[in-house]
Amino acid sequence: MDHDKVIKGTNKIALYATVALIYWVFVFLMITAFDLKVFREHMTEIFYLSLFGIFAILGGAIILNIMSNLSKISTALSKDHGHTLPDEKLSKTKIIVFAISFPLICAVLFGGNYLSAEKKKNMLVSSARSLVSENQAQLAKLVDYRFSLEYATKAQKTLGVICKIDKNFPHVTLILPDSIDDKKVFLGFSGDIFRELIKPIEKAKFIYPASREDRQYLEKVLAGTEKDIKFSSDKGHYELYYPVQMNGRMLILYLSDYQRYGKFGS
């Protein structure tokens, strides 16, 4: 048996495996730390293996250490037989390529995350446009707003039918301004068929919770100083505010969608 070839071969296998595991763990850390959406949910099972990456790298380091000792023994034996082993040192080019590869991986991951968000944004905008253009008559019935059980029921049925037409259609909520005890609030009416409407109906149950930034945006839309849509994404949750001018009144449609990904990653 040629021990030099065996040691050289196993050293290469261990080195390549260790480098691959370093990349694997690096990708895992980037996706987890920055909550990037790059790989679909079906990749989760594969990525779970990266949890054992650190242990595999440790094992790879031990193997490399053992191989180094075997190489020294092999070198000593080779010298006794008048043979010399080639000096295998990493070239500067390989080191530079290895170092540059990490920023490139970061660029790919962040680029994939951005493209995923843009794709979802385009989908939500397209859905909102089709909803408005194809349901003019139904939405017109919701323009004359007065908080009541009848209005809430009508809004629930209208939006419920619209969303049920296409199983992939995002969740839709109609947002309208109102007040409770002289305090300005936003109410949200959705097509949730599982939401039971019982008299006496209470405004507090329909309050639409929103961040300060979102409330400021909604107030500007209703005041007529803001007409652009507002899109946001966070951890696989995508949201779109879509202002609609209808019969002289401003309606705000809120479309939301949750894209399932792997545990840490589109």
Q: Are 259 and 30 in contact (CB under 8 A)?
A: no
pLDDT value of position 111: 84
Residues 150 and 67 grouped into a single domain: no
Q: pLDDT tens digits, the chain, 266 residues: what are they? A: 455 565 666 667 777 777 777 787 787 777 777 777 665 554 555 566 555 665 666 676 666 667 666 666 766 666 655 555 454 455 778 778 778 888 888 888 788 878 888 888 888 888 888 888 888 888 888 888 888 888 888 888 888 887 777 666 778 889 999 999 888 999 998 877 556 666 677 888 889 988 899 999 999 998 888 889 999 887 778 888 999 888 878 889 888 887 655 444 44
Residues 147 and 66 in one domain: no
pLDDT in the model for residue 67: 66
Do 76 and 128 lie in one domain? The reply is no
Domain contains 18: yes
Same domain membership, residue 126 and residue 68: no
The answer to the question of residue 77 being in a domain is yes
Domain span at 37: 3-89
pLDDT given at position 79: 61
Whether residues 76 and 124 share a domain: the answer is: no
Residue with tokens 């049920």: 164
Max CA pair span of the chain: 99
Sheet holding 230-234, edge to edge: 183-190, 171-180, 249-258, 237-246, 230-234
Instruction: Decide if 96 is inside a domain.
Output: no
The count of domains in the chain is 2
